[in-house]
Amino acid sequence: MVHNTKGTSRRDILKAAGTAAATTGLMGMASASEGNTVEVNVGFTGKSGRRAAASAAANVTREFAFDAMTIEVNENAIQGLQRRGDVRYVEANGTMHALAPKGGNGGSGGTMAAQQLPWGVDRVDAEVAHANGYTGAGADIAILDTGIDSNHPDLVDNLGTGKAFTKAKGNFAENWDDDNDHGTHCAGSAGAVNNGEGVVGVSTEATLHAVKVLGKRGSGSFSDIAAGVEWTADQGYDVGSMSLGASSGSQTLADACQYAVDKGTFLVGAAGNSGPCTDCVGYPAAYDTVMAVGSTTSSDGLSSFSSTGPEVEIAAPGSNIYSTIPGGSYDTFSGTSMATPHVAGAAGLLAATGSSNTQIRSQLTSTAEDIGLASNESGSGLLDAAAAVGVDSSDN
């Protein structure tokens, strides 16, 4: 992906516009209804900014390590905060969503006895990497999503520590369990166990961590998602996979992503399912700190739903992907959400070799396969997991 280094980039403009829109909305609320309490994210500079935000708060919901906090505040106090030089931004605590394609998901569900190699895992030559001893053992991959089924037989042996920033609703063994299905499906593509049943993931022995930032309906607040990214970084996990997003960004989440990358975590995000479109990559994938992933079909075409734009760095299989879902079952879903964990799994293979987050990003793009798509559709090309770890393969 080519970045604009000679001035303000489109991404910077969009980030500024998103923050401005959030600020304008808050100011509008103040004029429309006096004295209401609203939840906002406040970014500040130094101790004085922190004190100002805390003093204005009716309640401090969350404090971050990167000079931001989530507060409940009387809307009449917002303009005063915005005027302060030590307050970087005030934004409404909006939401992002699990990314599903237009028209919904489809396919046959159910349980499976014999193990199969999903076409996407095969297409990126992950099984070639496995055959040569690259399985991701020792790497940590965080799935920031709706949770992971804590008892799925094709995942349980690879599950590590989970964390819920929004708790599962229902009778679940863990509060980070998947009460939707999206996160479990993503987890299977990234790291389903090679155990002779169900499916196999790109990284068969990496440890998967459920970071539940999206609720039962597949949505989560900016603050919860940012906290999940921060927690992932603080655990020292190698990879953070985000199959979630929105058309406009959050400065708090942007701060969290920068925090994570600075601490050594490789972040990968779904480009979005707004296609066919041009220049429409969503957030957080559009941030410089996140590798944006587009989606391809089994015939190496661009998936019709895949968002495109200069932020796309790589493509991976995302149409009709068979993977794990809660209840020990399997189903076929489509979306850039499904493409993203393929990249996360490949990043796990590299992390297990000792590669840093910057080395992982460089290696994935430099070894990607040119499949004839435009750069705004596939970036450097199609993910090649075998080539990324230095294994030669002629499997096309």
Looking at residue 92, its pLDDT comes to 97
Those residues whose C-beta lies under 8 Å from the C-beta of residue 6, and which sit 6 or more positions away, are none
Read off the pLDDT of residues 286-324 as tens digits, 9 standing for 90 and up. Answer: 999 999 999 999 999 999 999 999 999 999 999 999 999
* Active-site annotation holder among 152, 182, 185, 209: 182
Q: Is the pLDDT of residue 43 over 80?
A: yes
Question: For 75, which DSSP code?
Answer: G
Q: Which of 145, 154, 178, 238 is catalytic?
A: 145
Res 15: pLDDT: 41
Q: Which helix (H) or strand (E) holds 233?
A: helix 222-234
DSSP string, 259-315: HHHHTT-EEEEE--S--S-SS---BTTTSTTEEEEEEE-TTSPBPTT---STTEEEE
| Cross-strand pairs, 96 | 220
Question: Looking at the predicted structure, is the pLDDT value of residue 237 above 50?
Answer: yes
Using DSSP, state whether 223 is helix, strand or coil: helix
> What average pLDDT does this structure show over 222-228?
98
The answer to whether residue 97 is catalytic is no
- Strand (E) positions, the chain? 37-44, 57-63, 68-74, 87-92, 95-98, 140-145, 163-164, 207-212, 219-221, 239-242, 244-245, 266-270, 290-296, 312-317, 321-325, 329-333
At 86 the pLDDT is 97
Q: Tell me what pLDDT residue 393 has.
A: 77
User: What's residue 33's pLDDT?
Assistant: 42
Please give the structure tokens belonging to residue 95: 């939401």
Contacts of 10 (CB under 8 A, 6+ apart): 4, 279, 310
Q: What is the pLDDT of residue 120?
A: 98
Active site residue 331: no
Q: Which residue has the higher pLDDT, 13 or 97?
A: 97
Distance CA 255, CA 142 (A): 18
Q: Which of 150, 303, 323, 337 is catalytic?
A: 337
| pLDDT for res 100 | 74
Task: Tell me what the mean pLDDT of segment 372-386 comes to.
Answer: 98
pLDDT at residue 336 in the model: 98
pLDDT level of residue 62 (50, 70, 90 thresholds): very high
**Backbone phi, psi, residue 333, to 5°:** -125, 160
Does residue 182 have an active-site annotation? yes
Q: Does residue 70 contact residue 223 with C-beta atoms inside 8 Å?
A: yes
Q: Map out the domains of the chain with their CATH numbers.
A: 10-93 (3.30.70.80), 98-388 (3.40.50.200)
Q: Among residues of the chain, what percentage have pLDDT more than 70? A: 87
Average pLDDT, rounded, for the chain: 90
Whether this prediction's pTM lies above 0.75 is answered by: yes
